[in-house]
Amino acid sequence: MGVSTANPEEGITVITVDFPPVNAVPVQGWYDLAAAVRAAGSDPAVRCVVLTAAGRGFNAGADIKEMQRTEGYTALVGTNRGCYEAFAAVYECEVPVVAAVQGFCVGGGIGLIGNADSIVASDDATFGLPELDRGALGAATHLARLVPQHLMRTLYYTSRTVTAGELHRHGSVWRVVPREQLHAAAMELAREIAAKDGLLIRFAKASINGIDPVDVRRSYRFEQGFTFEANLRGVSDSYREAFVSSTSSEPSTPPKPSEGETR
């Protein structure tokens, strides 16, 4: 359980997130993920990183139950800072990052894949930001990298989800495959990237980041400021407590897909 790293093939590092039952990531988990991605990127033998997850879904976001059982704002601040570091580590990784996504990918999961270089998804994967329903704000920066502007706004305001097929049509998901083929598809893409010259692939990553029109660090940090304000105004805690009450039978559960999921 936690964040693990493997090197199954020359030039490829696979980083796996595993926080049962649904990959709701605790504070330390975000920092561990950031450290693993940065370590892989700084290894001169690595030319591509595959970011994957064990279990039912790729990522259910932050562990809200950890926030609610922690006195004061320690866990909330820790989560915000940890997410900030993990998202930035993926974006700033010195080599391309391929995200392999199955099942649900919500909240912090959007922050990770929105900052990845390529996405391969299983045909049962769904993506969304239920932030407003959890008393938080953030990761619109990253959702905007996956879908057009007006769709991003509608998804954000409604907390609806979209499918892997829809993101494939928008061009943000490279391939959609049956779940049992997800690892192989991600490795196939990583293998093709890792076949490039190690120095040139690092130059390519740095140059593409350098021409990015959005400063993802500053943009996301701006969003996070409104989460702090919502907490200070007493709005957020009631939403988190309602979520915890509705999921008390498990350590954490993912948001359910919206009724009328966009098609």
Q: What is the tens place of the pLDDT at every residue in 227-240?
A: 889 988 888 888 88
The rounded distance, in Å, linking the Cα atoms of 139 and 224 is 9
The band of 251, judged by pLDDT with boundaries at 50, 70 and 90, is very low
Specify the pLDDT at position 262: 40
Q: Which fold has domain 2-180+202-246?
A: 2-enoyl-CoA Hydratase; Chain A, domain 1 (3.90.226)
The rounded distance, in Å, linking the Cα atoms of 262 and 151 is 10
C-alpha of 100 from chain center: 11
Residue 260 main-chain phi, psi, to 5 deg: 70, 35
The rounded distance, in Å, linking the Cα atoms of 83 and 131 is 14
Specify the pLDDT at position 178: 98
The two most distant CA atoms of the chain are separated, in Å, by 53
Specify the pLDDT at position 68: 86
Contact indicator for 83, 142 with CB cutoff of 8 Å? no
Instruction: Identify residue 27 by its one-letter amino acid code.
Output: V
Overall average pLDDT of the 244-257 stretch:
60
In this structure, the number of other CB atoms found within 10 A of the CB of residue 232 comes to 10
Q: Which of the 8 DSSP states describes residue 255?
A: P
User: In the chain, which residue ranges form alpha helices assigned H by DSSP?
Assistant: 27-42, 64-69, 74-92, 108-114, 140-143, 149-158, 164-170, 182-194, 198-210, 216-232, 236-246
Specify the pLDDT at position 249: 55
The least confident of 5-9, 12-16, 46-50, 233-237 is 233-237
**Which token pair is 60?**
């259910």
Overall average pLDDT of the 80-86 stretch:
97
- Residues forming a β-bridge with 25: 62
Length of the chain: 263
Specify the pLDDT at position 257: 47
